[in-house]
Structure 1
Amino acid sequence: MTAEVAVLGVGMHPWGKWGRGFVEYGVAAARAALADAGLDWRDVSAIVGADTVRGGYPGYVAGATFAKALGWQGARVTSVYAACASGAQAIDTARAQILSGLAEVVLVVGADAAPKGFFRPAGGERPDDPDWLRFRVLGATNPAYFGLYARRRMAVHGDTQQDFAQVKVKNAAMGALNPYARYRRRVTAEEVAASPLVADPLRLLDICATSDGGAALVLSSREFARRHGVADPVRIRAVSTVTPRYPNVVLDLPDIATDSWAAVEPAGETFRESIARAAYEEAGVGPEDLSLAEVYDLSTALELQWYEDLGLCAPGEGARLLREGATAPGGRTPVNVSGGLASFGEAVPAQAIAQVCEMTWQLRGAAGDRQVAGACAAIGVNQGLFGHGSAVVVVR
Structure 2
Amino acid sequence: MSMEKDIAVLGIGMHPWGKWGKNFVEYGVKASRDAIRDAGIAWQDVQFVSGAATMRCGYPGYVAGATFAQALGWQGAEVNTSYAACASGSQALAAARTKILSGQCDVALVVGSDTTPKGFLKPAPGDRPDDPDWVRFRLGITNPSYFALYARRRMEIFGDTVEDFAQVKVKNAEHGFANPNARYRKKFTAEDVAASAMVADPLRLMDICATSDGAAALVVSSVEYARKLGRGDAVRIAAISTVTPTFASAVVEMPDIATDSAAVVEAQRFRAAIPAKAYEEAGIGPGDVSVAEVYDLSTALELDWYEDLQLCARGEAAGLVRAGDTRIGGRIPVNPSGGLACFGEAVPAQALAQVCELTLQLRGAAGERQVAGARVGITANQGLFGHGSSVILKR
Give secondary structure in 1 for the equivalent of 2:55: coil
Q: Write the deviation string for residues 91-143 of structure 1: whole angstroms up to 9, x where unpaired.
A: 0000000000111000000000010111112363221222222111x210000
The answer for the alignment partner of 2:106 in structure 1 is 104
d(CA) in 2 for partners of 1:211, 1:227: 38
Conserved? CA contact 1:248–1:271, under 8 Å: no
The answer for the alignment partner of 1:261 in structure 2 is none
The answer for the alignment partner of 2:171 in structure 1 is 170
Counterparts of residues 142-153 of structure 1 (less than 5 Å):
142-153=143-154
The answer for the alignment partner of 2:332 in structure 1 is 333
The answer for the alignment partner of 1:390 in structure 2 is 389
The answer for the alignment partner of 2:359 in structure 1 is 360
Conserved? CA contact 2:172–2:342, under 8 Å: yes
The answer for the alignment partner of 2:254 in structure 1 is none
Q: What is the one-letter code of the residue matched to 2:211?
A: T
d(CA) in 2 for partners of 1:253, 1:72: 55
Quote the sequence identity (%). Answer: 67
The answer for the alignment partner of 2:378 in structure 1 is 379
Q: CA deviation at 1:357?
A: 0.3
Q: Write the deviation string for residues 335-357 of structure 1: whole angstroms up to 9, x where unpaired.
A: 00000000000000000000000
Change (3 A) 1:343 1:153: same
Conserved? CA contact 1:150–1:201, under 8 Å: yes
d(CA) in 1 for partners of 2:219, 2:261: 42
Change (3 A) 1:96 1:24: same
Change (3 A) 1:97 1:131: same
Q: CA deviation at 1:214?
A: 0.2
CA RMSD of aligned residues (A): 1.8
Q: What is the one-letter code of the residue matched to 2:60?
A: P
Conserved? CA contact 1:295–1:306, under 8 Å: yes
d(CA) in 2 for partners of 1:124, 1:171: 37
Q: Which stretches of structure 1, 4 residues or more, deviate above 6 A after TM superposition?
A: 251-254
Q: CA deviation at 1:388?
A: 2.6
The answer for the alignment partner of 1:319 in structure 2 is 318
Q: Write the deviation string for residues 202-232 of structure 1: whole angstroms up to 9, x where unpaired.
A: 0000000000000000000001000011121
Conserved? CA contact 1:9–1:37, under 8 Å: yes
Q: What is the one-letter code of the residue matched to 1:175?
A: G
d(CA) in 2 for partners of 1:111, 1:164: 29
Q: What is the one-letter code of the residue matched to 1:302?
A: L
Give secondary structure in 1 for the equivalent of 2:113: strand
The answer for the alignment partner of 1:133 in structure 2 is 135
Conserved? CA contact 2:153–2:259, under 8 Å: no
d(CA) in 2 for partners of 1:186, 1:240: 33
Pairing 1:274–2:273 present: yes
Which sits farther off after the overlay, 350-359 or 266-275?
266-275
Counterparts of residues 67-216 of structure 1 (less than 5 Å):
67-122=69-124, 124-136=126-138, 138-216=139-217
Conserved? CA contact 1:252–1:271, under 8 Å: no
Which sits farther off after the overlay, 382-391 or 280-289?
382-391
Q: CA deviation at 1:381?
A: 0.7
Conserved? CA contact 2:5–2:101, under 8 Å: yes
Q: What is the one-letter code of the residue matched to 2:226?
A: A
Q: What is the one-letter code of the residue matched to 1:191?
A: D
The answer for the alignment partner of 2:56 in structure 1 is 54
Q: CA deviation at 1:54?
A: 1.1
Change (3 A) 1:127 1:256: farther
Q: What is the one-letter code of the residue matched to 1:388?
A: H
Conserved? CA contact 1:15–1:181, under 8 Å: yes
Q: Write the deviation string for residues 58-83 of structure 1: whole angstroms up to 9, x where unpaired.
A: 00000000011000000000011000
Q: What is the one-letter code of the residue matched to 1:83?
A: A
Conserved? CA contact 1:131–1:386, under 8 Å: yes
> Scaled by the length of structure 1, what TM-score is found?
0.95
Conserved? CA contact 1:248–1:254, under 8 Å: no
The answer for the alignment partner of 1:244 in structure 2 is 245
d(CA) in 2 for partners of 1:272, 1:327: 20
Q: CA deviation at 1:257?
A: 5.7
Conserved? CA contact 1:104–1:220, under 8 Å: yes
Q: 2:12 aligns with which of 2, 10, 13?
A: 10
Give secondary structure in 2 for the equivalent of 1:54: helix
Q: CA deviation at 1:332?
A: 1.0
Conserved? CA contact 1:383–1:390, under 8 Å: yes
Give secondary structure in 1 for the equivalent of 2:240: strand
Q: What is the one-letter code of the residue matched to 1:87?
A: G
Unaligned runs of 5+ in 2: 251-256
Q: Write the deviation string for residues 240-262 of structure 1: whole angstroms up to 9, x where unpaired.
A: 0000111179x89984669xxxx
Conserved? CA contact 1:176–1:184, under 8 Å: yes
Change (3 A) 1:248 1:204: farther
d(CA) in 2 for partners of 1:112, 1:58: 11
Conserved? CA contact 1:239–1:390, under 8 Å: yes
Change (3 A) 1:86 1:111: same
d(CA) in 2 for partners of 1:287, 1:275: 13
The answer for the alignment partner of 1:262 in structure 2 is none
Q: 1:30 aligns with which of 25, 29, 32?
A: 32
Q: CA deviation at 1:300?
A: 0.2
Change (3 A) 1:248 1:53: farther
d(CA) in 2 for partners of 1:38, 1:195: 45
Conserved? CA contact 2:241–2:389, under 8 Å: yes
Q: Write the deviation string for residues 295-354 of structure 1: whole angstroms up to 9, x where unpaired.
A: 000000000111111101110111011111111111111000000000000000000000
> Scaled by the length of structure 2, what TM-score is found?
0.95
The answer for the alignment partner of 1:345 in structure 2 is 344
d(CA) in 2 for partners of 1:351, 1:130: 21
